[in-house]
Amino acid sequence: MVAMHREWSPFVVSAPGKLILFGEHAVVYGKAAIAGSLDMRAYALVTPRADNKARMVLPDIDVDVLFDSHTLPLLQSTSLSHPSEVEALVPDSINIPEGPGRTAVLTFVYLYGCIFAERDRNTGFTICVRSLLPVGAGLGSSAAFNVALSATLLQLTGQLREEGAGAGDRKLINQWAFHGEQVAHGTPSGIDNSVATYGGFLKYVKGEPSVNLESSHALRVLITNTNVPKSTKALVAGVRALRDQHPSVVDGILDSIHSISISAAALFQSVGEDEAYLERRMQDIIRINHGLLFTLGVSHRSLERVREITAARDLASKLTGAGGGGCALTLIPGGIAGDDVEVVVREMESEGFCCYQTVVGGGGVAIARSVDGRATVEQWLAEAIARHGGSSANSDGDAYGGAVAGFATLPAAAISELKPQ
């Protein structure tokens, strides 16, 4: 049987995770924060289907759902009072999974319903997302997922004007990804989806459009995940309670954090300065920012351990995100030997932490029909499967089912070869 496909070829959408460099918590009170994109990304392989259905495969979180497009609700701005209420609209035929898959399925239903809306629902497709970002560690895995999903749906409905999701399309992608974040978190600040869309370094103030710092400096950092679970909501509430008790004291700290973000923005934008000088100034403000967050009560003994281990080698660290566990960042100066970084990594691992060496400030969302210099996505995939292994067992019956199975089972090392496409 020859499968009939609509006239489009498979493509890959990718979007980065985020790292808050300065300004967490203060950003909740209208102060500036600085965040940058990570070189760890989420990648969506999107392939046509002949049966006009919509399939979402999320191997990292064990989700594989097949939607009959016509049973998905068609959403308008008035359908719900808030995106987080989407659950009631999920078709009865769909089993909503527990855990992280739950949010992903609800987000899909919401974004599909809004973005396809009255458009041609006969565009059958499979989206398979693989991510190099740890889930729920404060590195913006949800935003990378939401940006990749929004860009995919906008591309499929012909709403993107430029090939590859160019500058003119990013505002729209970002807006839908923000709604996706609302499904999961209710009231996100918007910083994560902005970084995942635009990439680079952003200065972010709540309620204002983010400012791309157009920096030519890429920062090398070591991210240490303490693996201590944290609740952003509880930590934000803790700072609020402290501020209620000591308004002028806490406002003074928040103002200092704001000044740090402004200084950081100036450092990122500086031209002609010696890199070593910039790194030293950056290390100063990293240390000060961490100290201020500590005084707000959002550090944790695991995060203090990261700070001690790195301080013993003259490296500066701070918690990133909400704190109370989660991740810390350490600036890796240009002059440091790789072996010295390895020693630090081993020490962190002996504490039960895990580390990611990464570069901050790379590209935002991208859509590619050819990857890694190959003529087509399928060609890259076939070679990657041959090199790294992976299953092409087609349990779907769709012409691209084997390709999807291959992408779903590739080892992370093969996915990381994709880099920002």
Ligand X SMILES: Nc1ncnc2c1ncn2[C@@H]1O[C@H](COP(=O)(O)OP(=O)(O)O)[C@@H](O)[C@H]1O
CB 99 within 8 A of CB 140: no
Nearest CB to Mg ion, comparing residues 250 and 298: 298
CB of 264 to ligand PMV, least distance (A): 15
Q: Which member of 39, 60, 192, 396 is catalytic?
A: 192
Q: How far is the CB of 139 from ligand PMV (least distance, A)?
A: 7
Q: Interacting stretch for ligand X, rule CB under 6 A, among 54-62, 205-213, 262-270, 295-303?
A: 54-62
C-beta of residue 144 within 8 angstroms of C-beta of residue 60: no
CA–CA dist 329, 321 (Å, integer): 10
Among the listed residues 37, 131, 141, 142, the single catalytic one is 142
Residues 6+ apart with CB under 8 A from 155: 11, 13, 46, 165, 367
Tell me if 130 sits within 8 A of 408, measured CB to CB. Answer: yes
Q: Is 89 in the site for ligand PMV (CB under 6 A)?
A: no
* Alpha carbon 334 to chain centroid, angstroms: 26
Which CB, 37 or 142, lies closer to Mg ion?
142
CA-to-CA dists, residue 58 to 63, 363, 388, angstroms: 5, 23, 20
Residue with tokens 């203060």: 26
For residue 38, the minimal CB distance to ligand PMV (Å) is 12
Q: How many helices (H) and strands (E) does the chain have?
A: 12, 12
Whether 192 is catalytic is: yes
Task: Write out the binding residues for ligand PMV, residues 270-309 only, by CB under 6 A.
Answer: none
Q: How far is CA 372 from CA 1, 8, 126, 163, in A?
A: 32, 20, 22, 17
Nearest distance in Å: CB 140, Mg ion = 6
Pick between residue 243 and residue 318 the one whose CB is nearest to ligand X. 318
Tell whether residue 362 is a contact of ligand PMV (CB under 6 A): no
Taking CB under 6 A as the binding criterion, the range among 126-134, 267-275, 287-295, 321-329 that sits at the site for ligand PMV is 321-329
- The reply on whether position 16 binds ligand PMV by CB under 6 A is no
Active site residues: 142, 192
Residues in contact with ligand PMV by CB under 6 A are 24-25, 27-28, 138, 189, 191, 232, 236, 321-322, 326
